[in-house]
Amino acid sequence: MPPSRCSIVAARARHNQSMRYLVTARLLDGRRRALQQAIDDGSLGAGSIAGDEYQRNMEAARLHPDGRVQWVEVCYCPTPLLEERPYWEEYFTLVKVQDAHARTKCRDLNGSEPWACSDCDCTARLEDRLAARGRRFLDALGTAGTTAGCTPRED
């Protein structure tokens, strides 16, 4: 029997191999209302070992004028977003997942501070820079007016 995603993620976490990723995505047509409901009722990512990370990601996500949505994701998987991808793909097309900063500077990966990615100041700095771009995604998601990437259609 092949190992589950959870066992792979747990094995990776035991080796303190984590990373921060800048995720670029586009909201799927017809999924705005379902995503808003999942955020509002706290069910976004339900069943995932990533827990409240999905909610935190959406709180910090930014919507750009061209419809792209970006957020910073902390991931402990051997493959970027191995655990999170199926949850995100219910609502988004993942356009790009890239390292949020140089791996050589990651205190977790270089061994100077195990589990540093959980509360890393690098993530906060990147999110601060990201917050200066575009518009807060949750504000756009909850509006009834037309917003690039977030259609007002009811689904």
- Determine, yes or no, domain membership for 99: yes
- Determine, yes or no, domain membership for 153: no
Angle, vertex CA 136, rays to CA 88 and CA 78, nearest 5 = 30
pLDDT one-digit tens code per residue, 10-32: 444 444 456 789 999 999 999 99
pTM to 2 decimal places = 0.75
- Determine, yes or no, domain membership for 90: yes
Q: Are 32 and 151 in contact (CB under 8 A)?
A: yes
- Determine, yes or no, domain membership for 81: yes
Mean per-residue pLDDT for 38-59?
A: 93
- Determine, yes or no, domain membership for 151: no
Q: Are 51 and 116 in contact (CB under 8 A)?
A: no
